[in-house]
Amino acid sequence: MPTWAELVFLLCAVGFILALKGLSGPRTARVGNLVGAGAAVVACVVPFFYADLDHVALILVAIVIGTAIGAVGAQRVQMTQMPQLVALFNGVGGGAAALVALLELEHFADATDVGVDVPAAYLVATAFTILVGAVSFSGSVVTFAKLQELMTSRPVVPPGLAFAFAGSLLAALVLAGVLIDEPVVWVGVALALVGLLLGVLLVLPVGGADVPIVISLLNAFTGLTVAAGGYVLQNTVLLVAGTLVGASGTFLTLLMAGAMGRSVANILFGALKGGSTLGSGEASDRPVRSATPEDVAILLGYAERVIVVPGYGLAVAQAQHTLRELVEVLGARGTEVDYAIHPVAGRMPGHMNVLLAEAQVPYEQLKEMDDINGDFRQTDVVLVVGANDVVNPAARTTPSAPIYGMPILDVDQARQVVFLKRSMRPGFAGIENELLFEPQTTLLFGDAKDTLGKLLTAVKSL
């Protein structure tokens, strides 16, 4: 590799680091994203100018197809479908790393046949990339299917799953050992197949609100495989990029698990002893107090302090612009309004922040859970729009609940609570929310966008 190419790759690696730094704040996230994308494009283009590439036509066709798919996806994928898209991206990255490692394994096998000694470290990295990349690919496909409702979001625990997982893991370790001892292509293929099975078995018993955490974990897996692949290929850009993704994905997984009040092991294997969130459940037929938009408008009109709790239902209804306009009208009337953001609101970290930023909501109004929880006692009205599990008191009061121990927004301490809900179906965790039946709670049924529109009209007419 010529010196100029190494320097360009170094600059691309620096670009990835700066991109990650930019993504750490809402004001710099867009620029950070563009810097990272630009660095990736440059890193992909540079080999065309120094390397003696084979099958250039096929490479260009693949780039055109991938670019077209990405452009169409960027335009058509809704914000509510972003977790599914992230899951697919994770899977594609892990699968690509595993395929590249299999190709390198073929080269190592050819080198061994002619008496060349391949360093053991390369073989260890190759076996790791094949196994973990395959796990990431198949596991991400299952998470996509769960979130897209192509299969049940409830935990799937067939008889003997624990033994099948343990046996597959043992087989994977044995095959990896054989591969490290002697690089043989068929052993690598067998290792990849076992990895695909492990990925499926790993994700099947995960249900409900735990699925986004598994996406983050698989993202970390993909990053680690890319880093290992970069070591095998002696490619600094891949090594740096993979390390950044692996490290950030690992931290994000731990932070999300902490926000759920559970360990990563419990999230992955809790269903084997009944500890996973359940997924979709049955609608309750218990009586609740409901109201009209005009009734709620009067309640908001006399409130001095209002807190809005957004959730996945807000994203589904695409009601963020109407909600922002309602908050602006209340603010113009002298009402103090903030948004309370739970760390796992929606179905991925930052989902609500991005959704509200898209609607031009001032970032100063977005308050993290730890910063705003103490304000609920002095709040006149809490407006819950599409959230459920993150305000469910069962997390504090019901040890048998799958979300027990999860830190929640203390909405139940407010003077009045208004829930905007489409129906009485439970949240993603699959359990009833007792707050819905409390005397200070009022329900406003209907599509969030339509209901907020009527509420906005009623507030303006006060």
Q: Is the pLDDT of residue 130 over 90?
A: yes
Q: Which of 440, 433, 437 is nearest to 418 (CA)?
A: 440
Q: Is the pLDDT of residue 279 over 60?
A: no
Domain boundary among 76, 99, 134: 76
CATH number of the domain within which 363 lies: 3.40.50.1220
For the chain, the domain total comes to 3
Quick one: pLDDT at residue 2?
86
Asked whether residue 286 is domain-assigned, the answer is no
Do 106 and 251 have their domain in common? yes
Domain span holding position 32: 1-76
Q: Is the pLDDT of residue 430 over 70?
A: no
Do 10 and 146 have their domain in common? no
Do 299 and 261 have their domain in common? no
Asked whether residue 287 is domain-assigned, the answer is no
Quick one: pLDDT at residue 358?
78
Average pLDDT over residues 3-29: 88
Residue 306 pLDDT class (50, 70, 90 cuts): very high
Do 257 and 306 have their domain in common? no
Do 72 and 85 have their domain in common? no
Quick one: pLDDT at residue 263?
77
Residue 394 pLDDT class (50, 70, 90 cuts): confident
Do 128 and 210 have their domain in common? yes
- Residues recognised as catalytic: 389
Do 434 and 299 have their domain in common? yes
CA–centroid distance for 359 within its chain: 21
Using CB atoms within 10 A of its CB, is residue 336 exposed (0-12), middle (13-18) or buried (19+)? Answer: middle
Using CB atoms within 10 A of its CB, is residue 398 exposed (0-12), middle (13-18) or buried (19+)? Answer: middle
Q: Is the pLDDT of residue 28 over 60?
A: yes
Cα separation of 260 and 389, whole Å? Answer: 10
CB 352 within 8 A of CB 385: no
Q: Is the pLDDT of residue 284 over 90?
A: no
Instruction: Report which of residues 103 and 267 the model is more confident about.
Output: 103
Asked whether residue 95 is domain-assigned, the answer is yes
Instruction: Report which of residues 356 and 337 the model is more confident about.
Output: 337
Do 298 and 251 have their domain in common? no
The residues, any chain, with a CB within 8 Å of residue 318's CB and separated by 6 or more, are: 78, 79, 449
Instruction: Report which of residues 433 and 281 the model is more confident about.
Output: 433
Q: Is the pLDDT of residue 66 over 70?
A: yes
The pLDDT > 70 percentage for the chain reads 94
Average pLDDT over residues 191-215: 87
Residue 342 pLDDT class (50, 70, 90 cuts): confident
Residue 454 pLDDT class (50, 70, 90 cuts): very high
CB neighbourhood size of 17 (10 A): 15
Asked whether residue 258 is domain-assigned, the answer is yes
Domain boundary among 273, 302, 323: 273
Do 192 and 103 have their domain in common? yes
Do 306 and 429 have their domain in common? yes
Residue 131 pLDDT class (50, 70, 90 cuts): very high
Comparing 25-29, 102-106, 408-412, the range with the smallest average pLDDT is: 25-29
Quick one: pLDDT at residue 427?
66
Asked whether residue 288 is domain-assigned, the answer is no
Domain boundary among 219, 241, 273: 273
Quick one: pLDDT at residue 201?
93
Q: Is the pLDDT of residue 431 over 80?
A: no
Quick one: pLDDT at residue 177?
94
* pTM of the predicted protein model: 0.80
Cα separation of 303 and 121, whole Å? Answer: 65
Query: Order of strands, edge to edge, in the sheet holding 366-368?
Result: 366-368, 336-341, 305-310, 381-385, 416-421, 441-445
Do 59 and 173 have their domain in common? no
Do 250 and 360 have their domain in common? no
In order of 129, 164, 172, 189, 295, the CA distances from 103 in angstroms are 12, 29, 19, 11, 66
Residue 340 pLDDT class (50, 70, 90 cuts): very high
Q: Is the pLDDT of residue 307 over 60?
A: yes
In order of 126, 131, 208, 346, the CA distances from 229 in angstroms are 7, 12, 33, 33
Asked whether residue 340 is domain-assigned, the answer is yes
